[in-house]
Amino acid sequence: MKLYRFLTGPDDATFCHKVTAAVNKGWHLFGSPTYSFDADSKTMRCGQAVVKDVEGVEYDPGIKLSDF
C-alpha cells in the first residue's frame, strides 16, 4: 500500500523537525514544498507532501497515517 500525508506547520524549526521525523521514519518527500501567508494568524505557513510504501498492510480509511 502507498500512503500519502501532507505535513503543515508554522515557518519555524518545528515544521523542519516534523518533516525530518517523517523522513527518518521512512517517508519520502513528494513534490515541492509550499509556503503561504496565513492572514488569520498573520504568519507564514509551510507544507510538504510525503509518501511511503508499506508492504503487507491493506488500506483502511480508519488507519492513523502517523503510526507508519
pTM listed for this prediction: 0.87
Is residue 47's pLDDT more than 90? yes
43 in Cβ contact with 14 (< 8 Å): no
What pLDDT does 42 receive?
94
In a domain, 66, yes or no: no
Is residue 67's pLDDT more than 90? no
In a domain, 38, yes or no: yes
35 in Cβ contact with 44 (< 8 Å): yes
Range of 22's domain?
A: 2-56
In tens, the pLDDT along 4-40 reads 999 999 999 999 999 999 999 999 999 999 999 999 9
In a domain, 64, yes or no: no
38 in Cβ contact with 45 (< 8 Å): yes
Is residue 66's pLDDT more than 90? no
- Any residues with CB less than 8 A from the CB of 1 and at least 6 apart, and which? 53, 54, 55, 57, 58, 59
